[in-house]
Amino acid sequence: MSAFETIIYEKQDGTAFITLNRPQALNAYSIKMRDELYEVLGAIRDDPEVLVVILKGAGEKAFCAGADLTEFLTAPAPVIARQARFERDIWGLFLSIEKPFIAAMHGYVLGSGLEIALCCDIRLASADAQFGLPEPGLGIIPAAGGSQTLPRVIGRAAALDMLLSGRWLTAPEALKLKLVNRVFPRADLLPEAIKMAEKIKSHPPLAMSYVKQAVTRGLDMTLEEGLALEKRLSGALLSS
Ligand code: COA
């Protein structure tokens, strides 16, 4: 257990749970939350006891309704500069962790909330989930990797459709576009995420880590480079 203000961090039998915990503001992603997530992600990366991570939102209405609009556009320049720096760091840190992440999403999954989910490896949603990137409608573009991660997941046309039209997706639409892996009734979401984590943990951790690396790093390489990466990882696994 931890004493963070905006998130809850728990560990149980090799599974780490991160709960975005500002339900009164639909778990909006604030500067404080970013700092706390940064700390927790560092701990997860370095903690050999953590084999898999589940990210979820507190309260009934949202996984995360995006960047905190009360800080957004009103923050003084130094804070914005600090935010930009940290955002780059936190998303880099997120993507560099070689352990599987599962996002368990319900309700509103907007802006940074969706971008957090896009940094995860498996995305599970409840039937009531809605997905959107409102940034362009606010005159900005996604700054937490979304303009890059979204097209890599759902393809260029569907990503541009979402970004240019500002249209939100329902859970069945998100499933059809492969933005989410599976959709469950609300009550089944967390149990199913835990079931998925158990399945992952039942396999050798090093193989889980290497398969994540092979797929995620390989996607940013040419096929030839990707095949070389697979060979290296496979060799390292066999000799481990
Ligand atoms: N930042 C800060 N506070 C937020 C927030 C955000 N992104 N999203 C919601 N909240 C707050 C609301 O201000 C409200 O606070 P209050 O009770 O003190 O008034 C509370 O969360 C509940 O939100 P509310 O708007 O009453 O819920 P709703 O179900 O009627 O509408 C949304 C939900 C998501 C449609 C609406 O809150 C919304 O449009 N939020 C902003 C989404 C957004 O643009 N995110 C930024 C992306 S860059």
* 70 CA → ligand 1 middle, Å: 10
The DSSP bridge partners found for residue 122 are: 102
Distance (Å, whole) CA 238 – CA 93: 27
Q: How far is the CA of 37 from the centre of ligand 1 (A)?
A: 21
Query: 197 pLDDT exceeds 70?
Result: yes
pLDDT in tens, 93-150: 888 999 999 999 999 999 999 999 999 999 999 999 999 999 888 888 898 889 999 9
Q: Is 111 in the pocket of ligand 1 (CB under 6 A)?
A: yes
Which one from 36, 87, 135, 192 is the annotated catalytic residue? 135
Q: Residues with Cβ < 8 Å from 215, sequence gap 6 or more?
A: none
Measured CA angle at 45 (ends 24, 181), to 5 deg: 65
Exposure string (b/e) for 8-33, b if CB count within 10 Å is 16 or more? bbebeebbbbbbbbbeebbbbbbbeb
pLDDT at site 86: 56
For residue range 145-169, list pLDDT tens digits in order.
899 999 999 999 999 999 999 999 9
Atom of ligand 1 nearest to the CA of 25: 21
67 lines ligand 1 (CB under 6 A): yes
How far apart are the C-alpha atoms of 144 and 87, rounded to whole Å? 6
- What pLDDT sits at residue 165? 94
115 catalytic residue (yes or no): yes
The one catalytic residue among 115, 173, 192, 224: 115
Model confidence pLDDT, tens digit, residues 210-234: 999 999 999 999 999 999 999 999 9
Map residue 187 onto helix, strand or coil. Answer: helix
The span from the CA of 235 to the CA of 62, in Å, is 43
Q: How far apart are CA 193 and CA 158, in angstroms?
A: 26
* Spatial separation of the C-alpha atoms in residues 141 and 24, rounded to whole Å: 26
Regarding the beta carbon of 135 and ligand 1, being less than 6 Å apart is answered yes
Residue pair 63/129 in contact (Cβ under 8 Å)? The answer is yes
In the predicted model, what is the mean pLDDT of the chain?
A: 93
Centre of ligand 1 from the C-alpha of residue 84, in Å: 22
Residue 42: band (very low, low, confident or very high) from pLDDT cuts 50, 70, 90 = very high
Other CB atoms within a 10 A radius of the CB of residue 51 amount to 19
pTM of the model: 0.94
The band of 79, judged by pLDDT with boundaries at 50, 70 and 90, is low
The pLDDT assigned to 82 comes to 56
Ligand 1 mean position, distance from CA 149 (Å):
24
